[in-house]
Structure 1
Amino acid sequence: MAKTDKQIAQEVLDAVGGRDNIASIAHCATRLRIMVHDKEKVNQTEVEDIEKVKGAFYNSGQYQIIFGTGTVNKIYDAITGLGVEGKSNEEVKSEGKKQGNAFQRAIRIFGDVFVPIIPVLVATGLFMGLRGVLMNEQILAWMGMTPKDISPNFILFTQVLTDTAFAFLPALVAWSAFKVFGGSPILGIVLGLMLVNPALPNAYAVGNGSAEALKFFGFIPVVGYQGSVLPAFFVGLIGAKFEKALRKRIPDAIDLIVTPFVTLLVMITLGLFAIGPVFHSLETVILTGTKWVLDLPYGIAGLLIGFFQQIIVVTGVHHIFNFMEIQLLEEFKYNEFNPIISAAMTAQGAATVAVGLKTRNKKLKALALPSAFSAFLGITEPAIFGVNLRYFKPFVCGLIGGAVGGFLASLFHLKASGMAITVLPGTLLFIKDIGQLPIYLLVLAVSFAVGFILTWFFGYSDKMAEELKRAK
């Protein structure tokens, strides 16, 4: 007989150490997100055995229990009905940010700033892919055309679609940083636009030698920061905190006039003369190092990144890749991380498929197959935390599959036209170069095959699962 939502809610409370062990609780589309006082009081095995639970894991300082869409809302309502005070998802996330070491917290902050602007960069990547198809000489030849037959006005229109987001990237980053750090987002937008004002020498023109940087005081180079990330990020971070400090000290009667004026004046001065030059130099060093790793011979970069990328996902600091991918796209108009990451995700999904097809446990089968499908759409957390890490060996088999696929992606120099969409949806990022699309699909197929075969023969059996359960 199926249990009621109230019964399941009570079992959840008991398994996580009782209501007194819950600091706060919220939910997203598929998961309960719980902040607990004492992790030692959480009984992982009991949680996983609760009816309707599809997996549970710690991530970003929260204990997250996967119930699935629709179900999670009902269980959340049942838990709050038992006297547990609910909080908004943002409040629980905010408390979660206090967890982990300094590096993990710093990367989460980077993620909070960059994630809101990723949809725009995804769209830009797709525009780049479509533009590449429309300008491809081979495809035009199939239609009896040449590049000269395309209207210059149409080419200009496509450039508006593909160039705008990166031309004004500092405005997007500064806006998001002001929002994350509690400042006025409109001030962030204006500061970001000031960093790319046409009155300043264009960064790209300075880079190719067709323009020169302005020299202030004879030694401070000043240029526009088109496509730069770190200068805008730190202008946003410092600017938001500076604005908040001003508002505490300036009388309300003149706050509307004085605070924006002083914030913009001080921050654009620091941005152009101090923050910009320093962090643009650091950004250049990071980009050079990233490119050096990606250019390692014999597919070494793909082998290493393909193996370790999903481990980095487990640590919760994988948003560092967003920063690197943005840099690559801004500088070179292509992204070599994307196909390697797609290979790693595919292999984890394949390992989960193997578990789902091999197990006789109906609950595990019902969890594994939908989780694998999610991985093939680019979201691996349900597969990793709900299945693969629980039995560990499937996770390792997935890592090996990711390494093999990443090795091939690096060996064939696969380059995506955008970021943030991966695996099956990621095929859209390879239509710009039709010759790369079949290679990308080959990489995914090999990653799947290795992850699946290793898991099927060496990574999982119900007997192993029972032994692991008894060991706990």
Structure 2
Amino acid sequence: MADNSQIAKQVIEAAGGQENISSVAHCATRLRIMLHDKEKADISAIEEIDKVKGAFYNSGQLQVIFGTGTVNRIYEEVTKQEVQGASKAEVKEETKKQGNAFQRWIRTFGDVFVPIIPALVATGLFMGLRGLVTQPEILALFGLTPESIPENFILFTQVLTDTAFIFLPALVAWSTFKVFGGSPILGIVIGLMLVSPALPNAWDIAGGSAEPLTFFGFIPVIGYQGSVLPAFITGIVGAKLEKGLRKKVPEALDLILTPFLVLLIMITLALFVIGPVFHIVENGIFAGTRAVLELPLGLSGLIIGGLHQVIVITGVHHIFNLLEIQLLERVGENAFNPLITAAIAAQGGAALAVGMKSKAKKMKALALPSALSAFLGITEPAIFGVNLRYMRPFIMGLIGGAAGGFFASLTNIAASGMAITVLPGFLLYIGEMSSFVLYLVTNLIAIGVAFALTWAFGYTDKMLEDK
């Protein structure tokens, strides 16, 4: 097997040489190469390089899948070959004009929410752990009952599980300001203003123990604890306002006047215009989400489990972040997670069948690690490196995802958090043993159906020869 330096040289050569590469960056699994002329790149040659699990051209980039860990090392070697490295922000800037308006909007939406997700993942894990340690069966092992739990311990767990959602508007506004070129610290302050204790608490209003303030006789003003869209739109407008003001305000007054005007104008707009309007929009999105999840006879699982990975290919799957955040904030559990997990696990099952059935060493070396990656929640290697290349395994994976999602929907299981799936996702179900078992069965159905169909109908080595 070639070492990483040789692989880097081969990738550069197949991409059309150093002179054809504008810049290179990487994400968690893929090397992202900006090309001057995409026609000079030989994607088939790239796919034959050691450690490459797939390659395709999308969103204005040549994307080469290496998998987690490996991609970092290959990137380092590529940048040593006199190829200009670029930050993720620079590559995102170059690709902003790629795709249609909806795809660009969703891509920007993802740029805002991806940095926030780790905090929400941790919060979900804390919720699961709290559910585990407060189970009567677990407490009984230590001679305790739920009444034995000290109030201070409950308070401590509430700090761990509630803080991220209470101050979610601050996180969203911070990230939005950062993405749209504003000062992140102003985003944080505006987001904190949206959840100021001087405003009626959103959860108290929802529970009926508080009433909104009324300005000018018709504008309801409330706190926005746990809200997303008001902070997101406020962040976009605020960042653009700041950039505009900095061009007009004299340099000598910029330090004082610009932040003063941004905070004054934006909190006024946020409380009296953006907040009330987009709170209604957010409520509508939530109602639509609940309606889909509550479809009878397991239809929601069939639809989401069956189509989620198709949506991933289009690159607009980040919209699910908003839906999952809303579910966690308003309901306290995430019914999307098991449906998405089924879709991801099934693509892993299909890739596993290809790897085990194939007698070609190259295919085994590609498919088996790709399946493992899918079981850890990352499907790009399995989709682009194996299943989609031969199409039938991908379709069998979609069927497996629909089957697993159907079971999850019928049994009404839900996660305590978001953003982790399949094997890591078990951590989101440890708080309740019945959910843990049902989640296990969901994965087994998805993997088993996809594996069996792919083995029987989805792949033969003749397809490899034809390819």
Counterpart of 1:257 in structure 2 is: 256
Does the C-alpha gap of structure 1 residues 121 and 52 become closer, same or farther in structure 2, counting only changes over 3 Å? closer
Does the C-alpha gap of structure 1 residues 68 and 280 become closer, same or farther in structure 2, counting only changes over 3 Å? closer
Q: Structure 1, residues 238-270: CA drift from partner, whole Å, max 9, x if none?
A: 111111111111111111111111000000000
Structure 1 residue 371: deviation in Å?
A: 1.2
The one-letter code of the counterpart of 2:107 is: R
2:433 counterpart SS class: coil
2:239 counterpart SS class: helix
Q: Does residue 460 of the first structure (1) align with residue 459 of the second (2)?
A: yes
Alignment of 1:41-440 (within 5 A): 41-67=40-66, 72=71, 76=75, 84-440=83-439
Unaligned runs of 5+ in 1: none
2:227 counterpart SS class: coil
1:34 counterpart SS class: strand
| CA RMSD, 1 decimal | 2.0
Does the C-alpha gap of structure 1 residues 256 and 58 become closer, same or farther in structure 2, counting only changes over 3 Å? same
Structure 1 residue 71: deviation in Å?
A: 6.0
Q: Structure 1, residues 117-153: CA drift from partner, whole Å, max 9, x if none?
A: 1111111111111111232234334433322211111
The one-letter code of the counterpart of 2:233 is: F
* CA distance in 1: counterparts of 2:79 and 2:239, whole angstroms: 35
Cα contact 2:65–2:380 (8 A) shared by 1: no
TM-score (norm 2): 0.95
* CA distance in 2: counterparts of 1:70 and 1:224, whole angstroms: 42
Which deviates more from structure 2 when the two are superposed, residues 297-306 or residues 68-77? 68-77
1:23 counterpart SS class: strand
* CA distance in 1: counterparts of 2:45 and 2:350, whole angstroms: 24
Does the C-alpha gap of structure 1 residues 293 and 259 become closer, same or farther in structure 2, counting only changes over 3 Å? same
Cα contact 2:174–2:187 (8 A) shared by 1: yes
* CA distance in 1: counterparts of 2:237 and 2:323, whole angstroms: 22
1:436 counterpart SS class: helix
Structure 1 residue 3: deviation in Å?
A: 5.9
1:172 counterpart SS class: helix
Structure 1 residue 22: deviation in Å?
A: 3.0
1:424 counterpart SS class: helix
Which deviates more from structure 2 when the two are superposed, residues 36-45 or residues 104-113? 36-45
Which deviates more from structure 2 when the two are superposed, residues 201-210 or residues 326-335? 201-210
1:182 counterpart SS class: coil
TM-score (norm 1): 0.94
The one-letter code of the counterpart of 1:192 is: G
Structure 1 residue 10: deviation in Å?
A: 5.2
Q: Structure 1, residues 310-368: CA drift from partner, whole Å, max 9, x if none?
A: 11111111111111000000000000000111111111001111111111221221111
* CA distance in 2: counterparts of 1:209 and 1:369, whole angstroms: 54
Cα contact 1:59–1:316 (8 A) shared by 2: no
* CA distance in 2: counterparts of 1:113 and 1:18, whole angstroms: 34
Counterpart of 2:30 in structure 1 is: 31
Which deviates more from structure 2 when the two are superposed, residues 225-234 or residues 95-104? 95-104
Structure 1 residue 56: deviation in Å?
A: 0.9
Cα contact 1:61–1:97 (8 A) shared by 2: no
* CA distance in 2: counterparts of 1:50 and 1:249, whole angstroms: 53
The one-letter code of the counterpart of 2:133 is: L
Overall identity of the aligned pairs, in %: 67
2:57 counterpart SS class: strand
Structure 1 residue 435: deviation in Å?
A: 1.4
Which deviates more from structure 2 when the two are superposed, residues 432-441 or residues 65-74? 65-74
* CA distance in 1: counterparts of 2:143 and 2:4, whole angstroms: 64
* CA distance in 2: counterparts of 1:456 and 1:262, whole angstroms: 64
* CA distance in 2: counterparts of 1:295 and 1:108, whole angstroms: 28
* CA distance in 1: counterparts of 2:3 and 2:146, whole angstroms: 65
Does the C-alpha gap of structure 1 residues 154 and 309 become closer, same or farther in structure 2, counting only changes over 3 Å? same
1:57 counterpart SS class: strand
The one-letter code of the counterpart of 1:268 is: I
The one-letter code of the counterpart of 1:410 is: S
* CA distance in 2: counterparts of 1:379 and 1:6, whole angstroms: 25
Structure 1 residue 48: deviation in Å?
A: 1.2
Cα contact 1:57–1:386 (8 A) shared by 2: no
* CA distance in 1: counterparts of 2:408 and 2:74, whole angstroms: 43
Cα contact 2:67–2:373 (8 A) shared by 1: no
* CA distance in 1: counterparts of 2:338 and 2:72, whole angstroms: 35
Cα contact 1:137–1:146 (8 A) shared by 2: yes
Does the C-alpha gap of structure 1 residues 332 and 357 become closer, same or farther in structure 2, counting only changes over 3 Å? same
* CA distance in 2: counterparts of 1:175 and 1:74, whole angstroms: 31
Q: Structure 1, residues 81-115: CA drift from partner, whole Å, max 9, x if none?
A: 66543323432233123211111111111111111
* CA distance in 1: counterparts of 2:73 and 2:130, whole angstroms: 46
Does the C-alpha gap of structure 1 residues 330 and 30 become closer, same or farther in structure 2, counting only changes over 3 Å? closer
Does the C-alpha gap of structure 1 residues 83 and 466 become closer, same or farther in structure 2, counting only changes over 3 Å? same
The one-letter code of the counterpart of 2:412 is: H
The one-letter code of the counterpart of 2:388 is: L
* CA distance in 2: counterparts of 1:11 and 1:209, whole angstroms: 65
1:333 counterpart SS class: coil
Cα contact 1:6–1:79 (8 A) shared by 2: yes
* CA distance in 2: counterparts of 1:459 and 1:223, whole angstroms: 55
* CA distance in 2: counterparts of 1:206 and 1:5, whole angstroms: 58
Does the C-alpha gap of structure 1 residues 194 and 452 become closer, same or farther in structure 2, counting only changes over 3 Å? same
Counterpart of 2:447 in structure 1 is: 448
Does the C-alpha gap of structure 1 residues 166 and 73 become closer, same or farther in structure 2, counting only changes over 3 Å? closer
* CA distance in 2: counterparts of 1:150 and 1:27, whole angstroms: 47
1:200 counterpart SS class: coil
The one-letter code of the counterpart of 2:299 is: I
Structure 1 residue 18: deviation in Å?
A: 4.4
Does the C-alpha gap of structure 1 residues 4 and 421 become closer, same or farther in structure 2, counting only changes over 3 Å? closer
The one-letter code of the counterpart of 1:431 is: I
The one-letter code of the counterpart of 1:394 is: P
Unaligned runs of 5+ in 2: none
Structure 1 residue 77: deviation in Å?
A: 5.9
* CA distance in 2: counterparts of 1:153 and 1:3, whole angstroms: 57
Which deviates more from structure 2 when the two are superposed, residues 146-155 or residues 187-196? 146-155
Cα contact 2:66–2:381 (8 A) shared by 1: no
Q: Structure 1, residues 397-442: CA drift from partner, whole Å, max 9, x if none?
A: 1110000000000000011000011111111111222211111101
